[in-house]
A and B are shown apart, each in its own frame.
Chain A
């Protein structure tokens, strides 16, 4: 898009325009070293850095230590620790505006229930409810991007319950929400969460014990779509491979497994490292930003993300090359091939050492990417193509072996009809069963809500309709959602009837 096109676009807000212009400026220079292979595969749309830009000047995802901020305030912003709920919510809102990301808006806003809990008492609950509602409404209108993600739990708190209640009442897409779910989570909090999800498509459930293990017991957060990352850290970059397109480069299955796939993985890792080099060595983010200087984030807690989409299409193509007609999602052989592809990638990533990481142990993480609006013909991550999903039970059994490979995010979305509102316990039984089978993340929505989960982020159906009619809408993710709906049939997701 030319500068003038951005200036003249009638479908975007002022903010989106400024952002578009900044992107255009960044993309007017070429400063990253790339091999010919990476250049060619980027051109072909097989390797894709998701519009991160040609000269990355901040990490993609940042997870500040908000707990430290609530306890100690911030010198640079001249904010002292809060004494009540109004100061606490206001302090956070001020801070959020200074947390950059790839979209320029924060993708992680903290375990907001724990952050606010000490200000909520039995006596001031009504007042806190008002404060929390204003807080959430403020986030939705100023952080106009559904990649903004809050966490709650695993413990039940008064603040957590108020947050869920407010979300049910507001029915707004931002912020996205995940409940960290563990043995500590009460049945009441779990059921309240499910009831909320059936109204407003959030929270998702994250299996706390699995993430804790993957992050060596360190504090983690669920951010953006559903990326799991370390608190006080984040991810410098996310580069992904479109496996469906990549498969077309192979002459047969073994060519793919032995040559095509390892080659693309090594090249991608090199490219991820190059982007990290630029952020660390040339951009000045880690030298000058107050988040670093005051210890809200630490360089050594950042990683790089290796994303993948279109496993289903890749497997189906390879099966065809083998003269077999089994399809990913329903055929054992095809599912096995899918898992082998993921295993191969996992091993290559584990064996790779990024020379810009100080610790030997620090590795890039595999991410099952949900896809973007231009991904016609490529299913998100390891998901079964929409419309081909089996019954929920088979679906969970099929999906569960994949989850262990993706410390930094994978998830399936299950849609439930309105009868579940009368029996949310049934959904909890399914989630518990799924987590016991190996799932790490579970998203759901009610088939009758306005806010729906498109791929990883949330949009309002009513806003998509507005956009269809050529009107300006507040959230950039609505535009992404519309693309996913038109190209990916996301709203036809299989409904879970009884």
Chain B
């Protein structure tokens, strides 16, 4: 017991002051892209290098779909006009798939509060996670929300074992054919009203697996999604911020 107490002193206080104080992320972290200038009409350099087909031409310029982008930064050095920069803005989540499309005009990912969701879940949200064919990094970084640093519980949000006790389902991975049935069964086991969260590029669009005939390319085609959290994997603060925005807590 003595050693336990001693160690408690040594390890110190670990919980972050978020959301009162903004988190400090690695200076090399890539968040919301900023698109400037216009393109040569024939140039496809960024489009060709993108591993997930996240970039498309749009009105003399380009648009990046954050539902597909894996934030690999490969497109950045290829643009001869220096049109693409990734900012450190980690607030990426949105209530709507179309809002994830970043163009020259977009500075920030829009988020619209849903009154009913706020009313029902603001103080308490129990989530059942279903991992459906990703690489496990998304699960791993959702898991850390339970560690003392993020301490998800202090916001009244927690992961629950039984779908029957859950208000919503949070899905990672592109949904493999092999996992589809189990995912649908889990969803059905949730009492209504229920919400669906797609976390990570895979769950939003199939991500790096979108060309495979073994996956469903995300949750959208199967269930109505209420919250999209982009990233490959989403940074824990991106996920935390997304959840808090969703509940109207930040």
- Say if A and B assemble together: no
Residues of B within 8 A of A (CB): none
